[in-house]
Structure formats: C-alpha cells, structure tokens
Structure 1
Amino acid sequence: MPSQFRLPRLSATALSIALAAALQALPAAAVEPFVLKDIRVEGLQRTDAGTVFAALPFRVGDTYNDEKGAAALRALFATGLFKDVRLDVEDGIVVVIVDERSVIANIDFVGLKEFDKDALVKSLKDFGIGEGQPFDKALADRAEQELKRQYLTRSLYGAEVVTTVTPQERNRVNVTFTITEGAPASIRDIRIVGNRVFSESTLKGLFDLNDGGWLNWYTKADRYSRAKLNADLETLRAYYLNRGYLEFNVDSTQVAISPDKRDIAITINVTEGQPYTVTAVRLEGDYLGKDEDFKTLVAIKPGEPYRAEAVADTTRAFTERFGTFGFAFAKVESRPEIDRATGRVVVVLNAEPQRRVYVRRINVAGNSRTRDEVIRREFRQFESSWYDARKIKLSRDRVDRLGYFSEVNVETAEVPGTQDQVDLTVTIKEKPTGNLLLGAGFSSADRLSLTASIKQENVFGSGNYLGLEVNTSRSQRTVVLSTIDPYFTVDGVSRAFDVFYRTVRPLNSQGEEYKLVTPGFAVRFGVPFSEFDTVFFGIGYERTEIKGTQALPNNYFLYRELFGSVSSSVPLTIGWTRDERDSALVPTLGKLQRVNFDWGLIGDTRYLRTNLQYQQYIPFGRRFTLGLNAELGLGRGLGGRPYPIFKNFYGGGLGTVRAFDQGSLGPVDVTGAYMGGAKRLNLNAELYLPIPGTGNDRTLRWFTYLDAGNVWGDGEKITAESLRASAGLGLSWISPVGPLKLSYGTPIRKRPEDRIQRLQFQIGTAF
C-alpha cells in the first residue's frame, strides 16, 4: 500500500525538527525498508535533475528506509531551491515531487536618493537577494529591515521601505523596494550634565557631532550616529584622563527624538571625580634584563597630573620594544595605585614577555589587480626571520605610502601546532589609481587654461607610473610624457623618464609677443640610502629657442645677440631628499629637506643651479598646525659665461611671497619686463586652523600666513633690507581635482614700483 507524507512550508532548520518529531510520533506511517528499483523527480522547471539526485542520500539498488527519506528531505530543503518537497513511495519506486522557489528576475529601487544603487544591489546579494537567485520571503524581509537600518545610520528616522514582489512568466519574480526617505533628523541640542571643572562649550568643542555648526550643510556634523557619539564620548573621556581625572566616568547618555522624527536631543551625564598627580612609576615583571633600556621609554612624568595618553604611549612603546626582540605576544599592563586622600597615584607597569617567535610565512590578500611582488618588495620583515614589530610597522607604512590602496592592515596569527611560529597576513583594499582629466582651470596668474591628463600610478598592477599631461595656461604651455619605475633594480633604485615640450611666456608689462620654446628629455635615478633618505641623479637634454622680436626685453635681446637664439644644454642633476612628514597632502608633523643641483657642463650653456628647501610642521593639540618653509635658490654661470637668462628664478604669488603679483619680484628690464633673477629666497609661515563646524576634518582648513622673500639678479647681494613681506589669511581645501589654496593678503613691506595682487588662488599649490 503506498505511503506518502507532506511537510508544511517551514525553514530548513524548523523543517528538520518537525520531520524528526513526525517520524517518531507517527509510526503507523512508517515504511518497511525495501530495495530501490527506481527514483523519479517531478515538478522541476529550472533546476537540473542532477542537482536533486546529487542531494539524495540513496541510489537505485540501495535499501530505502524512513531515516534516509528524512535525510533526503533535509538535504533538498537545504539547497534553498524548493519551497515544498514531498516523497511518494510505491512498489519500490521513490518519486521526489518538488515545488521550486521563484527566481528573482530583477531588483529595482523606487525613491532612492541617499545611497548608490549599485552598492545596495551588492549588499543585498550578500543577504541572498540577487538577480538569478531563488526568492525567499524571509530573506526579503531581512533585507528590508537592513535597508531601514542603513537609513537610521544617516539620521533618516522617517524612512519607510516597502517590498513589492511581482510574479513574471516562467516562475520568475521582480522585487521592488519602494523607499520614502523623508528629511534627515538634525541634532538640535547637546547637553553635558555634571561637569564643573571644564565648561560645557569647551567639552562640546571636542566633539565631531554638533548642534548648530554653520557648515553642517557640508560636514553633516548634525547627523546623529551612534558610532560618532561613541567616538565623541571616547574623546571626552580621553580629555579628562589626560588631565589627571583618573576616575572620570560617563554615567549615561540619553538620545531623544521628536515625535515628527526631525529633531534629536542628546544628554550626557558625567562624573568628573578628583584630579590625581603621579608620584612614581614602578616596573614589575620580566624585562629580559633590560630594565634600564625600558625605563628610557617611559613617557609618564612623576610630579605631573596623571595622563592616560602618556600611560598608553608607554605600554605601547614597551610592547613594540618586546616585539623588536621577537616577543610578538608580550603583555604589558598598567595598574594605578590610587591614594584618594592625597590625590596621588603610583603607576605600576607589569610585563610578561611570553615566548619568542619567528615569522613562518607572509600572505597577501585583497589584491585583485596589484601583483604580490609590488607589496612584498616594500616589506622589511622577512619570512623565516625573528618577528620584529618595528620592521612590520615600517613595512605596513611603506605599503600604505604607495598610494594604491585605501586600507592596509597587517594581522598576526599563530601557526597551529607550534609554539614559536606566526603567519602575517597583509590585507589591502585597492582603490582606482588611474586618472583621466579633461577640463578647464582658472588662476589669478594664468587666467583661463585648458588641461588634459591621463595618469596611471599602477600600470597593469606593476607599481609603475605612466602619465601624459597637457597644459595651456597663458604663461606656460606644456606637454609632458612621464614614466617611473620605482623598482628599476631589486634594491629599490627608481628610474624616471620625461619627454617634454614647453612654451614659456615670461610675465611682463609690454606684451606677450616673445616666448621661450624648450623641447627636451631627461632620465633620473633615485637611490634609497635609508627609509627616509633618497639620493637622485640624472641627465637630460634641452634645446631652448628665443622666438619673437616685438616687445622683446632688452636682456633677452642682448643674450640672443651674444649667444644666438638657440641654446642647447645637457644638464646633470644631483639631489637629496629626506621626507619625514606624516602626510604628503595634509602634513601635521615632521619635516622635509631637499637639496638639488642642476649642472650644465655640456652644450652651449655653462651653469650651476642650486635649490635648497626645508619644511617643518609642528602640531599644537589635535587641531592646530604650524607650518614653516624656507627655500633658497642660487644660480651662477660657469666657464666665463653668464648665467642663462631662461634659467632665472621667479618670485611673487602663491608658493613664494603672496599678495605680490605672480612673477613680479626681482629685477625689471628697461622695457618694463619682469626678468626674474639668479637668486631667490622664500620664507613662509602658516598657522592652520579648523573651520568652525568641520570638527577634525583636515581636508578643509583656513590659515593665517606671513611671507618674506625676493629675487635678486646675478651680482646682486641678498640683504634683509631688500626683502618683501606680506601677511594675510586663506583657505586650503583638498578638492577632488587637487589641493586648492586661496589667499587674501596685504604687503607689509613693499616698494612703490611693486605690483600688488591681494587675492590669489590656484589648484595644485602645496606651500
């Protein structure tokens, strides 16, 4: 007599439990074991029959029983392809009857503005909701809730998401998420309760979140986020702990939202406690017999208020020092011994080195385009060597400085079954390194200019650079083809090729009828002598022609009469750079030093051109930075020949002395043209300050500046009396098209003949 059973439409897990219970509770429906003669499948529309047969735990000729039937049902439901499965047994034949799930044909969003559609489609696919995948109502409900949660992170508390499933032919469905985003909720009030030592305005000024910044339209700092609030609370806690308030505590936070879900009020309750002064620092534990060495790393100063930052710096320095000896898992803990009666504390540092390990293998993950060798050649920690935390950190920083990745992380994992081995995994997240730019620009010096460039910093994942740039500004028109191989040799020697064609029109008051045309090429090599020092040397060829006769400055006329209109040279280049800045775009700490010599020994010109530069960045707290810059340029003729006039330095404007017209400093020809000179000195100081309402965003800052400098001709002396100076303020923005700097200043030391230009701006200017 045939026996059959049907299970309700449950999830796979619930189904398994219900099935097992049913088989035990209904022995009357059990089937006597028999030998299978045949297996048939019914109800398939899209799924291949082989998928069903592969999931079954029995084959023709096997002995069938109830346990195998239950296992078959569990396996088929686990595929996620079916919403109902039934087994019919009759005369030694098992018929598998399935009801397939609908397949998602299309996913669409209606009313989506806040998020990128492609990003949402990708994230929904992780939930199992994607085109070509079986449709599951439970998963669709989870996806809907996840979309709502994403909107909550953007302070869109009134957002509504409705899922619509539309059946299509051939058992397919279209899934549409209809979204009503609504207006974002804004923080209207932030209150801090319980503070007595520091004012509420001072403490709120530490936060990235705010309740009314005038730049919130740009920073969105009034958009509530739990993650941002937690970060601000940690900032608040660190502020107190770094000022001696060891027992400071955030008791509670209340976040209230208005009934219309438009306004948010945040109340933070704190207990400050009393301030503590450090009286002593005591080391306990095992310091490998190098106690005196570790004591030099202690940043905690007895007699000063307790500073959690100094304690953290000390424990981190201890851990890193243990790491340099191969102790990757050293534990260093700080324990304050508090005397509340006197307000004193003794900081105890306890160290357990654990065991020494070496690196078995270094793995690279996350790179789909960049070759492994591009990453591995930056590593200073080697496989089969003792673990060295200092080298690992240096390696991570070197990979990060390549500029090809948005994230670089190094994780350490113990090797199973061993006590003295670890594996390192370098996980990177690649970012686009190609740049195609077509557009127009405008600067106060060059007026309208057209630009076009194609740049690829990581060609074919090789780590090489290839670029083509075209500039059509008024004063300088350039076509440059460049390529750089940062690892021309395995030792890290770089090689760069430049092929260029420049047309320069020096700024003057008479006209622009003359110009300097310079085609040429150059090759340079960079030899790293340390992690921060690089020596450059190279050779090139330049052919400069003075074209035009009308409004030709007298100095150019005389030079052409003496040496001809065409001058060829083969300059040799020697330079040295030490870069210890924490960032190339927005530095806040460190210094940069450069020395460069251009030596024209072969050709029609004989000269030596020297450039010296020194930059220093000094942080004041977390949000203020003082930048200092000094540059000295010197040129002189060799072999009895004058210094080539087309190699002159120019001064005035952004990058030199602001508030003076671009290129207007220095000697003036009898025709009124600005000729530049063989000597130049620039002294610059900038104090960077955050724009109110932007929090700790360093990409948009304003600054005050003080500039001094001038340009002198060959034979003139550099004197303090001849210096020009200016002061003013400006705006610095790391825009999508490059660093933008705008300044407004006034000369504080000038001469009547100087040309003044108070407002100046340019894209691509550093200092």
Structure 2
Amino acid sequence: MAIKKHLVVSSLLGASFAALGQNSFIVEDLKVEGLQRVALGAALTHIPINVGDNVDEYTISKTIKSLYRSGHFDNIKALRDGNNVVFKVTERPTISFIEFDGNKDIKDEQLNQSLDQQNIRQGEPLDKTVIDNIEKGLTEFFHSIGKYNAKVDISITKLPRNRVKLKLKFDEGDAASIRQINLVGNELFSNEELLQLAESQQDLPWWQFMGSDRYQKQTIEGDLEKIRSFYLDRGYLRFNIDSTQVSVSPERESVYVTANLTEGVKYKVKGFDFIGDLLGREDLIKSVIPLRAGELYNGSVVTSSEEFIKSYLARFGYANAEVRTIPQIDDENQEVQLTLSVNPGKRVYVRRIIVGGNQSTADEVLRREMTQLEGAWLSNQSLERSKLQIQRLPYMEKVDFNVVPVPGVDDQVDVDFTVKEQSAGSFNAGLAYGSYLGLQFNIGVTESNFLGTGNQIGFNINTSRGSERVSVSYTDPYFTPDGVSQGSSIFYSNYDASKFSLIDYKSKSYGLGTNIGFPIDAVNRINFGVRWIQEELSDIAEYEQTRVLRETFLDQDNPDAGFDFTKYELSAGWSRVTVNRGLFPTAGSRQTLNLTATTPNSDLKYFKLNYDSRFYWPISNDHRWVFSTRAALGYGNGYGSTNGYDQVLPFQEYFRITEMELRGFDRNTILPRAIARIPQSIPGTPLPDGSTTGNIGGSSEFDVLVPQGRIGGNAKAVAGMELIVPTPFLDEENTSSVRTSFFVDAANVWDTEFNVDRYQNLAADERAKLDDYSDPMRFRVSTGLSLQWISPMGPMLISFAYPLQKEEDDDTKTISFNISNSF
C-alpha cells in the first residue's frame, strides 16, 4: 500500500518563508485560518510569538515546528500580510471509525490495543506518518507466527466534516509448517530425547490431525530455553546455544530450524556463601534453600533458591529485594563456587488499600478478611492470604490485587484489590427424575450476602410427595470483630416416610436452635450448638428395627397412639478449609467433623458422629485439569436406658443417601429394608365332622418374614473420585463458572445393631428372604459425567450416570437435573 504523506516541508521552509521576506519586523496581529475542530485558543497555545514581538525567518520556522508537534495539523503555511502573520493550516482528519477485516490470529482487542499505543483511536486526529510503521509491525507479527504470505492493507476513506474511516484488511494466508528441526553439536543426548521437551512439532503426517507443526517464533524460543534448562539442570554449566537459523522455503510454506549447541561437561557445586544483608537470618536461609555442596550444579535449584530468598524477605516488607547468583567456575576441576548476593533494599510499607469491583458487598466485609493492613509493612504472604480468604467467600468469583508504588516515595505502596462478585441470592428449584420416585421438586430462598453485609439469611420451603419443610435461618460470620460467628434457626417439618421408599411412619416436628463458632487459625474453626426439638411420630408399623422404640414408649392402654418426644441436642464440630475459592475450587481441601448428642433429660438418648472431606489436586499448572476425592463417614447409636430398655439410635435418625452422594441411584434405594416378623398359628386337631378343635398359637420358629420399605442404618460410608476436565468449546474466562467432570461414586448404609443370627431358628425359605444388613461391604458403585454451571439464573447441574455395582431390588436412574434461579 502506498499512503501519500502530506508533509510539504519544501513549501513550509521555502516558499512560505520567501513570502515573509528576509527582514525582521514587529508583529501587529496573528491569524490562524483553516481551523475546524481545533479551537483558536488551543492553536495559539502552540504559537510561541505574541503581538509586538520582533520576528524573522528563524522565529517563524520554530513556530511552524511547534504547531506540527501539537499533532493537530497535516499542513501548515505561514504568510506575511503587511506586519500581520497569517498561519494557514489544514487540520488532520478525525478518525470516525476503525474497521478490521480478515484477521484471525490477532483479535480485534489486540489490534485496538496496539493502535491505541500509537495514538490511533476513534475520535482522535489521524497521524498518517505512523501508518507505514503499523503495516510493518503487523507484517512482522505474522512472520513471527509462520504466516510469511500474510498481507496487510490499510485504507483511508474520507468522510464529510473532515472525518475518515480507517480500514485494516488482512490476508493472512496459511501458516508455514516446521519441516525439520535440526540440533547440531549434541552428542550426550539424542535429537529425539531433546525434541521431546519441545512444544513445537515437525513434519507431522496427515493422520495426526490433532497435533500442530505450525511455526511460531515465540514457541521455538521457548523450546530452546527448555533445552537450555534441561542441560543446566544436569550440571552442564557451560552449555550454550551458539546460534539459531530459520530458513524459509521458496514457496514460504515450510520452515527449517537449525540450532547449534555446545554441551560442555558436568560441574559440581564446590560450595556456596552469601554476601549482602540477610537481616541476621543467614543460618535459617542456608538450612532451608535446596543448594548443597558436593552435588551436581542444577539451574532450577539455583533459581528456586533465589526465589525463596526473595519471597522470604518479602514477608518482612522487603518487597524489592534483589538476589543474584555469582558463579566462580573452576574449569580444571569442573567445580563452581556460588555466591548469592542479597540486597534487601528498603522496607516497603502499605500506605493505602483500595477495594474495587464490589457492587453489592460492603468494603468492610472484604477488609475484615485481609491480613495485610494499612500502615504495616508489605508482606507477600499476607497479600496472598488476604486474596485467598476473600476468594473463599461464596459470593466472590475472582479476586486480584496489584501493588502500585507511591509516586516520589521509594518505601511506600498502595495495594489495589479488584473483585468480581457472583450471585449470592437465589431462588432454588430442584428437579429430578427417577424410575421409582418419578418427578421431585423443591423450592427455597437464600441470600449469602444479605444487603452486602456478608451475613447469610435463608427462608426455605421444600416440598415433594410426602414432605413439607419450612425453615428460617440467619448467620453472622463476624458476630465479633475477631471472627466469632453466631447463627440461629427455626424450622417446621411434616414428613411421610412411606412416600420415599421408606417404611410406613409419619413425623411432625418443629424446633429452634443457635450455634457459635470460634476461629483457631486461618483455616481451622470449632463450632458449638444447641437445639430444642419437639417431635411427634405416628402410624408406625411394627418392624424388627422399630421394636425397641415401640416397646420403650408404648402406651398399653392406647397402643395405636403416636409418640411425642422432647429432645435437647448439643453439638460440637471442627472444620478445616484450605480450598483456593468458595465455589468450584481447584486446590486445597474441606474437612468437617461433627458430634451431635441429646442430653440425658431428653426423651430419646442418642449420639451421631459425622465426618466429611473433599480434596482437590491440580494436575495441570493452569488448574483446568483437577483430580478430586471425597469421603463421608457416619455412625450413631443410643446410650443409657429408658423404662428398662437399652437405647439405640431411633430409626427416624438413621442415615440416608442423597442423589448427589450416589448418582445413578434413586434416593434411599440402597438402604437396609425394614423386616416385619409375622407369627403364624397352627390349626387344631380335626374332628369327625370335619371341624377342628380350634387354632393354637404356634412357635416362633414358624414366623414369616416380610421385607418392607427401606429404613436406613446407623452407619454410613460414601466415597467418590472425580476428574475435572476443561469444558469443550468454552473460553478460559468462563472456567470459573462452568465445571465438567467424570466421576465414580460409591456408598453403603448398614445397621451395626442388626443381628442375622436372631433368625437362625426360622425355616430356610424364610431366612433366604434376609440380607445381612450389618455388612459394611455392600457398596453400590456408579460412574458418569457431570456438568455444573453457575449461570446468571443460578446454579445448574446435570448428571448422566450408570450403575457399575448394584443389587437386584435397587432402583436406578440415568439422568438427574437441578436448576436454581437467581433474583
């Protein structure tokens, strides 16, 4: 492309000056003609002469150059009219619109950023002198990514009112492929071994269509650095890449890369010492860094030692510490003495912490999570911990910080925290389908960041076939300034167990409770709680597992009456949270251990112990591939005696299994079944007329067993593994709100109090109806795919599961779906 440059220097410095004449004169008036967008006052600020000044050719020349430097004008002429000076100007056109066409490898955002750096932006005057530089820079960029046939054409279209449209048209062409990478000079390691380190690939056959042998300059440079690190990490201190040549085929479709190497020999570390100021911690640092005398030199170890010292000093406010390793090489003995030069610099203090991006969350809520304080010295450890603790809040999607030096001061900085919030309030609607339970639905309202205070409030109504539950809760995580939390709740429940594949009984309960939590450190907490519960059980069928409760509380005068219980529950718990964010963590763990027990003055005396854990291990550096495990264990039982009967865990408190704990199975379908034991009568002696003398009671060995609905057990074990993978066709910006994973789930619930030997006197066909519900190894297992999305409407979850291990009477389901709508 050829763009004419309207810089008529000859007319400015020749004809214009001739018009002024060679003699100096006193200026009586100044005029600027041709102004359109630029105000007269703005133009005059760039004219260094005033009325009454004595001017000559040199003065006018300087004035013209000053006007050009303003960036407003394409052409300037200076004329003399008597003792008046007239500047005739042509303003630069204003960029009305910038259009890109045909660009693929370089995005519009990158182009706009590049143009902006050269003051080419919409609404600004166009400096045509930089157009050639832009073309050249873009062409060089395409060459660096292997597109040697790329063309860039920049056209300028004039528009009314001295405006222009700037259009950048790209013909990128095909990228050149790497035909061959040649390494010359390597004898200790083969080309194949070294090129396995490289990201760049060469001359791939057509069937390896998933790979790429495209040439990119930056990738090649990175690959050569990997080879350099490979040698340095194995002691080859004198290794060097002497030269690199890149040759392009005549048709510009293939590239040949040649690197000339000098391997050298291995060197050992003779010893290492320090110079500079280590703040009196030399012995500690020396014992911690991985450098060791007598071992082979290792470049990675040296680098990590330098980074450790910098990071360690930064804990104490020395944010700009400089650490440099000086090698003293003994080629004769193939040894190297390392000297680590340490300059901590000045201790840096935080002048101000600025929080931005929080639209609904109050600053105070975020600041109370920070361990880095204003006025204290800058600590990288405190900054990272502050970021982590804010990111663990469930209503925070992303947290970043930036350290900004205070202008004119070398020992103060400001810290800018930028947060991105995510939905904290939701209207939850759950939907699932199972082969036995059919369609299920629940609804609820929660707000984890009530009015931006960080407090949690909830009003939930969960309804399904046979269940109604209403609850109201409120939790203040900072009931006191030092992080003591306090919460309260009240609930009402009406439950018909027979509607959920469970035994026949109905439960109606209501209660209220409160809890308080104390932080032990940044990741550990302990919690204590108390609840009062009033419970009514009715329509309880007679089963083996309900026998103890019925016999303990049965009203002999009214055996069909229900049971009323008053319970006072005390709870104590421990939690440890080290995950890197509240939702969709990719590293760290969550662990909880809780003990709940009723007091001795309660009608029912029992305890329940629960342990839950989930661990995340990132597989890739970008945390897009993550391996996760989870486990849940539970055990409960009764204590003491009531009315002469030893207490056991009441059946309504038995452990159950949710759909999310064991995907692919219906709720409760793997629980132990209730056993109804029905006594049988024996006919009397036959009489001659065919009648009998009457029935007489039979022995218990003739009892009939009838397995009924599921009841649960007093022990529970759940385990699972997940491989979290990048979601296909999803850009990196949305990875924090969408998660795809492959899973394996396993679970079992059993009853340690169930004794199958109690039924040994029964007939064999009756014993065959029994399963050993005390067996802890009757696990069910499933596998499948799960997709989770924190959408603008709220969390959505869909799972596809297939049972790997099941029993004959288990009910399964393939798909489950859950959706929440935010408000």
After TM superposition, the score normalised by the length of structure 1 is: 0.70
Query: Is 2:358 aligned against 1:320?
Result: no
Query: Is 2:415 aligned against 1:426?
Result: yes
Aligned to 1:665, the other structure's residue is in SS state coil
Query: Is 2:673 aligned against 1:668?
Result: yes
Native 8 Å contact 2:746 2:780 kept in 1: yes
Q: For residues 613-666 of structure 1, what are the alpha-carbon distances to aligned partners after superposition, in whole Å with 9 as ceiling and x for unaligned?
A: 34556789979987654421234579979767676544487655x787775433
Distance 2:441 2:220 in 1: 45
1:10 CA drift (Å)? 5.8
Distance 1:675 1:725 in 2: 17
Q: For residues 150-188 of structure 1, what are the alpha-carbon distances to aligned partners after superposition, in whole Å with 9 as ceiling and x for unaligned?
A: 666776665544333332222222333334455555667
1:530 CA drift (Å)? 1.9
Native 8 Å contact 1:363 1:423 kept in 2: no
How many aligned positions are there?
Answer: 739
Find the partner of 2:25 among 18, 25, 33: 33
Query: Is 2:718 aligned against 1:682?
Result: yes
Q: For residues 732-766 of structure 1, what are the alpha-carbon distances to aligned partners after superposition, in whole Å with 9 as ceiling and x for unaligned?
A: 8887868998787844xx76656688x889899xx
Query: Is 2:749 aligned against 1:711?
Result: yes
Query: Is 2:36 aligned against 1:45?
Result: yes
Residues 606 and 351 of structure 1, relative CA distance in 2, 3 Å threshold: farther
1:43 CA drift (Å)? 2.0
Aligned to 1:531, the other structure's residue is in SS state coil
Determine the structure 2 residue equivalent to 1:613. 612
Native 8 Å contact 2:95 2:164 kept in 1: yes
Residues 33 and 386 of structure 1, relative CA distance in 2, 3 Å threshold: same
1:534-549 alignment, distance < 5 Å: 534-535=525-526
Q: Kindly provide the amino acid, as one letter, of the partner of residue 712 in structure 1.
A: W
Q: For residues 330-382 of structure 1, what are the alpha-carbon distances to aligned partners after superposition, in whole Å with 9 as ceiling and x for unaligned?
A: 44433455566666x45534344555525152454875868766665444343
Q: Kindly provide the amino acid, as one letter, of the partner of residue 577 in structure 2.
A: D
Residues 62 and 579 of structure 1, relative CA distance in 2, 3 Å threshold: same
Native 8 Å contact 2:449 2:456 kept in 1: yes
1:198 CA drift (Å)? 5.7
More moved, 273-282 vs 90-99: 273-282
Q: Kindly provide the amino acid, as one letter, of the partner of residue 633 in structure 1.
A: G
Residues 416 and 97 of structure 1, relative CA distance in 2, 3 Å threshold: closer
Q: For residues 387-446 of structure 1, what are the alpha-carbon distances to aligned partners after superposition, in whole Å with 9 as ceiling and x for unaligned?
A: 5454345445546666857673554748757xxx61234355655645999999989999
Distance 2:145 2:474 in 1: 43
Q: For residues 470-491 of structure 1, what are the alpha-carbon distances to aligned partners after superposition, in whole Å with 9 as ceiling and x for unaligned?
A: 9999999999999987666654
Find the partner of 1:723 among 768, 771, 777: 777
Determine the structure 1 residue equivalent to 2:693. none
Distance 1:330 1:306 in 2: 24
Q: Kindly provide the amino acid, as one letter, of the partner of residue 340 in structure 2.
A: N
1:443-482 alignment, distance < 5 Å: none
Determine the structure 1 residue equivalent to 2:768. none
1:611 CA drift (Å)? 2.7
Q: Kindly provide the amino acid, as one letter, of the partner of residue 91 in structure 2.
A: E
Residues 243 and 543 of structure 1, relative CA distance in 2, 3 Å threshold: farther
1:84 CA drift (Å)? 1.6
Determine the structure 1 residue equivalent to 2:351. 361
Aligned to 2:288, the other structure's residue is in SS state coil
Residues 502 and 508 of structure 1, relative CA distance in 2, 3 Å threshold: closer
Native 8 Å contact 2:466 2:500 kept in 1: no
Find the partner of 1:77 among 68, 77, 85: 68
Native 8 Å contact 2:392 2:579 kept in 1: no
Find the partner of 1:300 among 268, 284, 291: 291
1:359-508 alignment, distance < 5 Å: 359=349, 361-362=351-352, 364=354, 376-386=367-377, 388-395=379-386, 397-398=388-389, 408-411=400-403, 413=405, 416=408, 422-427=411-416, 431=420, 433=422, 490-492=481-483
Aligned to 1:722, the other structure's residue is in SS state coil
Determine the structure 2 residue equivalent to 1:632. 633
Residues 580 and 18 of structure 1, relative CA distance in 2, 3 Å threshold: farther
1:49-198 alignment, distance < 5 Å: 49-60=40-51, 69-111=60-102, 117=108, 120-121=111-112, 124-143=115-134, 158-182=149-173
Distance 1:429 1:279 in 2: 47
Distance 1:172 1:514 in 2: 82
Residues 676 and 383 of structure 1, relative CA distance in 2, 3 Å threshold: same
Distance 1:477 1:304 in 2: 70
Native 8 Å contact 2:178 2:254 kept in 1: yes
Distance 2:389 2:365 in 1: 11
After TM superposition, the score normalised by the length of structure 2 is: 0.66
Distance 1:681 1:149 in 2: 62
Q: Over aligned residues, Cα RMSD in angstroms?
A: 6.4
More moved, 384-393 vs 127-136: 384-393
Residues 29 and 494 of structure 1, relative CA distance in 2, 3 Å threshold: farther
Aligned to 2:307, the other structure's residue is in SS state helix
Determine the structure 2 residue equivalent to 1:5. none
Distance 1:192 1:444 in 2: 62
Native 8 Å contact 1:706 1:725 kept in 2: no
Q: For residues 173-213 of structure 1, what are the alpha-carbon distances to aligned partners after superposition, in whole Å with 9 as ceiling and x for unaligned?
A: 23333344555556676666666666666655545555669
1:469 CA drift (Å)? 11
Aligned sequence identity (%): 28
1:575 CA drift (Å)? 3.9
Native 8 Å contact 1:216 1:222 kept in 2: no
Q: Kindly provide the amino acid, as one letter, of the partner of residue 309 in structure 2.
A: F
Determine the structure 2 residue equivalent to 1:577. 575
Distance 1:731 1:194 in 2: 50
Aligned to 1:130, the other structure's residue is in SS state coil
Native 8 Å contact 1:34 1:65 kept in 2: no
Aligned to 2:373, the other structure's residue is in SS state coil
Find the partner of 2:593 among 592, 595, 600: 595
Distance 1:461 1:122 in 2: 35
Q: Kindly provide the amino acid, as one letter, of the partner of residue 29 in structure 1.
A: G
Larger CA Rg, structure 1 vs 2: 2
Aligned to 2:85, the other structure's residue is in SS state strand
Q: For residues 203-234 of structure 1, what are the alpha-carbon distances to aligned partners after superposition, in whole Å with 9 as ceiling and x for unaligned?
A: 5554555566999988x866654444444444
Residues 617 and 47 of structure 1, relative CA distance in 2, 3 Å threshold: closer
1:297 CA drift (Å)? 0.9
Aligned to 1:129, the other structure's residue is in SS state coil
Q: Kindly provide the amino acid, as one letter, of the partner of residue 722 in structure 1.
A: P
Aligned to 1:426, the other structure's residue is in SS state strand
Residues 414 and 265 of structure 1, relative CA distance in 2, 3 Å threshold: same
Native 8 Å contact 2:505 2:537 kept in 1: yes
Distance 1:503 1:251 in 2: 81
Distance 2:300 2:740 in 1: 28
Residues 395 and 632 of structure 1, relative CA distance in 2, 3 Å threshold: same
Q: Kindly provide the amino acid, as one letter, of the partner of residue 776 in structure 2.
A: S
Determine the structure 2 residue equivalent to 1:3. none
More moved, 327-336 vs 311-320: 327-336
Distance 2:749 2:69 in 1: 80
Q: Kindly provide the amino acid, as one letter, of the partner of residue 171 in structure 1.
A: N
Native 8 Å contact 1:285 1:352 kept in 2: yes
Determine the structure 1 residue equivalent to 2:686. none
Native 8 Å contact 2:404 2:415 kept in 1: no
Distance 2:61 2:566 in 1: 90
Q: Kindly provide the amino acid, as one letter, of the partner of residue 611 in structure 1.
A: N
1:753-764 alignment, distance < 5 Å: none
Aligned to 1:296, the other structure's residue is in SS state helix
Native 8 Å contact 2:661 2:745 kept in 1: no
